[in-house]
């Protein structure tokens, strides 16, 4: 084991982990086919991908679009979220979960997360429900489905819509049904860092015909189904995916299942070896999650046990050539966007005439989200596509740092 790599010792690893994206003949063939056909716009390949991806997630309908942020916005519009209505979101997520709400002139209200999973906490969510609440956006953080039983119960009790932010959860299943259409609808992203990618891209899934029709129309300039081309029925947008993106995604989709299974196996191995590790808290299993996608493998670093800072641990681990990062640095509400009291045209939405209430995000405080921002350590999904002995390296490196942590206490 010897000297820490950060002090010039030999790193635990001598070869790199897999990089992302992974692509091959399938993408090349599909892309060439589309290229040479000259049909680059909204056609066969897009339809084929929508159908195949919806089927993969056990949903009835798929409406493709430009990105995951757009998919969330389309979901909010299709669920009938109106200006001045409140939508409950977690603060431990990517900005799109909350900014999409602002984009439809609605008000994001932050509820805290469960510190163990990083997912929206149904109990705190219920506390944040008011007469203005219209919807909840649970994020299946890192691929772990949120507690959908609890959120569907709240939806029933308070007559709310559930829009899943499934932008980490391609392949995840809750009680044997894929994420995305567990609630009213769900948004997925195919941006470059995601587990299935075309550089940019997104899709909204739903089992609800009405939502499908609005989503289809909104993302296609407000057109009507089987209606004349230059007739527009709602204020929509052009959010269409291209055939070239769909060609790549169809290739990517052929590997998604096998990659999902491989990541889960490797994550289980890490879980088994880290669950009793002093100062490390892994994400607990939930039997209702019947398959779990891993966009990230996350654990919590308990600095009181290690007696070193998380940043020092991460630097030391990176020096052993284990790529880890600290994830979201601050809860969403601490972003300048929210601290400046979001203002659009006419002061909407925060001082919107429709809202008639004041929200001061400087007073928002979600202790678990704040703590997770300080404790989380993330390992990227591409690392989980390596072999079991590579996972062993991760564990060995953590053990090596733990044993030698005295050296790190004096600082790097
Ligand atoms: C990536 C992501 C999005 C948005 O996806 P884009 O395609 O980049 O717009 C939304 N929510 C979460 C949690 C994400 O990670």
Tens place of pLDDT for every residue, the chain, 412 residues? 579 999 999 999 999 999 999 999 999 999 999 999 999 998 999 999 999 999 999 999 999 999 999 999 999 999 999 999 999 999 999 999 999 999 999 999 999 999 999 999 999 999 999 999 999 999 999 999 999 999 999 999 999 999 999 999 999 999 999 999 999 999 999 999 999 999 999 999 999 999 999 999 999 999 999 999 999 999 999 999 999 999 999 999 999 999 999 999 999 999 999 999 999 999 999 999 999 999 999 999 999 999 999 999 999 999 999 999 999 999 999 998 898 766 665 666 776 777 778 788 989 999 999 999 999 999 999 999 999 999 999 999 999 999 999 989 875 5
Query: Which residue CA neighbors atom 4 of ligand 1 most closely?
Result: 68
- pLDDT score, position 285: 93
pLDDT (0 to 100) of residue 5: 96
As given in the structure block, the two tokens for residue 305 are: 């046990």
Dist. CA 74–CA 81, nearest whole Å: 10
Q: Which residues contact 180 (CB under 8 A, 6 or more apart)?
A: 57, 59, 164, 166, 169, 186, 187, 188, 205, 206
Q: What does the DSSP 8-state code read for residue 143?
A: G
HSE-CB of 263 using CA atoms within 13 angstroms: 29
Q: Cα(89) to centroid of ligand 1, in Å?
A: 14
CA 148 to chain centre: 16
pLDDT score at 347: 65
For position 40, what pLDDT does the model report? 97
* Pair 23, 332: CB distance under 8 Å: no
The catalytically annotated residue of 53, 56, 94, 294 is 94
One DSSP character per residue, 338-386 reads HHTT-B-GGGTBTT-TTT-S---GGG---HHHHHHHHHEEEEETTGGGS
Ligand 1 first shell, C-beta below 6 A: 67-69, 93-94, 96-97, 139, 165, 167-168, 189, 191, 202
Give the global pTM.
0.96
Q: Which residue has the tokens 């004349």?
A: 228
User: Given the DSSP bridges, would you call strands 296-301 and 289-291 parallel, antiparallel or unpaired?
Assistant: unpaired
**Which sign, positive or negative, has the C-alpha torsion 290, 291, 294, 299?**
positive
Give, in order, the Cα–Cα distances in Å from 57 to each of 117, 195, 219, 249, 253.
22, 14, 21, 15, 12
Look at residue 178 in the predicted model and tell me its pLDDT. Answer: 98
Per the residue annotation, which of 114, 147, 165, 393 is the catalytic one? 165
Separation of alpha carbons 324 and 252, rounded Å? 25
349 cis-preceded (ω within 30 degrees of 0): yes
Question: What is the whole-number distance in angstroms between the Cα of residue 368 and the centre of ligand 1?
Answer: 22
Query: Which H or E run includes 97?
Result: helix 96-103
Expressed in angstroms and rounded, the spacing between residue 191 Cα and the centre of ligand 1 is 8
In ligand 1, the atom with minimum distance to the C-alpha of 190 is: 7
Which residues fall within 8 angstroms of residue 112, CB to CB, at 6 or more apart? 90, 91, 121, 124, 366, 367, 368, 369
pLDDT at residue 393 in the model: 98
**What do you get for the CA distance between the two ends of the chain, in Å?**
19
pLDDT score recorded for residue 411 = 59
231 is catalytic: no
Closest atom, ligand 1, to C-alpha of 201: 7
Q: What is the pLDDT of residue 344?
A: 62
> Catalytic: 165?
yes
How close is the Cα of 230 to the center of ligand 1, in Å?
32
ω into 233 cis (within 30 of 0): no
Domains of the chain and CATH, by start: 25-253 (3.40.640.10)
Catalytic residue, candidates 240, 305, 315, 371? 240
């Amino acid at each position: 084991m010897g000297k820490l790599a950060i002090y010039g010792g030999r790193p635990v690893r001598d070869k790199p982990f897999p990089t992302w994206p992974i692509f091959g003949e399938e993408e090349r063939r599909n892309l060439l086919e589309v290229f040479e056909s000259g049909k680059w716009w909204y056609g066969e390949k897009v339809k084929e991908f929508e159908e195949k991806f919806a089927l993969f997630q056990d949903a009835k309908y798929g409406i493709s679009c430009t990105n995951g942020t757009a998919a969330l916005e389309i979901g909010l519009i299709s669920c009938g979220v109106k200006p001045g209505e409140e939508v409950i979101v977690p603060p431990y997520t990517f900005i799109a979960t909350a900014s999409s709400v602002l984009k439809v002139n609605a008000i994001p209200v932050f509820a805290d997360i469960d510190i163990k999973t990083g997912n929206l906490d149904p109990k705190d969510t219920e506390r944040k429900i008011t007469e203005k609440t219209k919807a909840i956006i649970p994020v299946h953080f890192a691929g772990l489905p949120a507690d959908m039983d609890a959120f569907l119960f709240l939806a029933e009790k308070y007559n709310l819509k559930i829009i899943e932010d499934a932008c980490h959860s391609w392949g995840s299943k809750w009680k044997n049904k894929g994420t995305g259409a567990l609630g009213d609808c769900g948004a997925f992203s195919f941006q470059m860092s995601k587990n299935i990618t075309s550089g940019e891209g997104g899709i909204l899934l739903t089992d609800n015909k009405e939502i499908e029709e609005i989503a289809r129309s909104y993302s296609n300039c407000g057109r009507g189904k089987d209606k004349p081309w230059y007739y527009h029925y709602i204020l929509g947008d052009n959010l269409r995916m291209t055939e070239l993106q769909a060609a790549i995604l169809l290739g990517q989709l052929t590997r998604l299942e096998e990659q999902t299974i491989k990541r889960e196996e490797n994550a289980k191995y890490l879980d088994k070896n880290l669950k009793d590790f002093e100062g490390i808290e892994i994400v607990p299993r939930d039997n209702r999650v019947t398959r779990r996608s891993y966009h990230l493998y996350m654990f919590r670093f308990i600095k009181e046990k290690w007696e070193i800072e998380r940043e020092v641990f991460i630097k030391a681990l990176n020096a052993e050539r284990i790529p880890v990062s600290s994830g979201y640095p601050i809860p969403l509400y601490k972003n300048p966007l929210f601290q400046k009291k979001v203002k659009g045209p006419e002061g909407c939405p925060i001082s919107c005439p429709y809202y008639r209430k004041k929200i001061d995000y400087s007073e928002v405080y979600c202790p678990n989200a704040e703590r997770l921002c300080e404790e989380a350590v993330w390992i990227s999904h591409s690392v989980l596509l390596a072999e079991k002995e590579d996972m062993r390296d991760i564990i060995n490196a953590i053990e090596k740092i733990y044993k030698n942590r005295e050296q790190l206490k004096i600082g790097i």
